[in-house]
A and B are shown apart, each in its own frame.
Chain A
Amino acid sequence: DAGVIQSPRHEVTEMGQEVTLRCKPISGHNSLFWYRQTMMRGLELLIYFNNNVPIDDSGMPEDRFSAKMPNASFSTLKIQPSEPRDSAVYFCASSLSGHTDTQYFGPGTRLTVL
């Protein structure tokens, strides 16, 4: 079975540019999570979707960050405009149900903003 798929795996961009990260959750999972991992802060939840609906976006650091889930098999995380402090690894995870099931992580997107 395919796991969580993320693209691109690496992204290098210049400050001020728009960045879009993509995620395909495991088929049949109805909960999707976006995390950010940095050396200083570890893994932090940015936003949680259940049945394609954003339930909690309190972890989104600023209005520059936005996320969408137009259907059960696709989600995007967008940063506009990007800043050097956004450099991190961004993970997408999915679970059968947000409350009761294990979260399975994708391989991540390493973002570098110059």
Chain B
Amino acid sequence: EDQVTQSPEALRLQEGESSSLNCSYTVSGLRGLFWYRQDPGKGPEFLFTLYSAGEEKEKERLKATLTKKESFLHITAPKPEDSATYLCAVQAASSYKLIFGSGTRLLVRP
């Protein structure tokens, strides 16, 4: 059964304190791994898609990496506006379904 587990559930950082969020997955043939950001009261906002082990993508202070079993979302020198819930999802090969993890709630304090 395809499954996604995110850790930690919640993370508090001081502004400027870099850290990483983890997304572990099991899937029958990975087509893509997706990272979304969700702010309170809003829909998930697309950040990255990773397709194969070793791939990396960056956007501002965020960098996503992928291995055969997990993905990391690295946050470098975060700012309070990076506070949000970060969702990871996998899509199996030849599938349209996104299987979501439960998310990591990130709070960055000034």
Contacts and interface: CB of A to CB of B under 8 A. Distances in A.
Interface of A: 4, 31, 33, 42-43, 45, 48, 50, 55-56, 91, 93, 98-100, 102-108, 110
B96 A55 contact: yes
Contacts of A42: 100-103
B34 to A, nearest CB: 7
A99 B98 contact: no
Interface stretch (B10-18, B40-48, B53-61, B65-73): B40-48
B98 A91 contact: no
Given A42-B102, A42-B103, A43-B87, A48 B96 contact: yes
Of the four ranges (under 10, 10 to 19, 20 to 34, 35 or more), the interface on chain B belongs to: 20 to 34
A48 B98 CA distance: 11
Nearest to A6: B43
A106 B38 CA distance: 11
B43 A108 contact: yes
Contact of B43 (A45, A50, A56, A105): A105
Interface of B: 31, 34, 36, 41-46, 49, 87, 89, 94-98, 100-103
Contacts of A99: 31, 94-96
A56 B98 CA distance: 13
A92 to B, nearest CB: 9
A98 B96 contact: yes
A91 to B, nearest CB: 5
A98 B32 CA distance: 13
Q: Is the interface of A mostly helix, strand, loop or mixed?
A: strand
Nearest to A95: B96
Given A42-B102, A42-B103, A102-B49, A31 B96 contact: yes
Nearest to B44: A105
B30 to A, nearest CB: 14
Contacts of A91: 43-44
A43 B36 CA distance: 12
The 5 residue pairs across chains A and B that have the minimum distance between CB atoms: A105-B43, A98-B96, A43-B100, A105-B44, A42-B102
A106 B87 CA distance: 15
Contacts of B100: 42-43
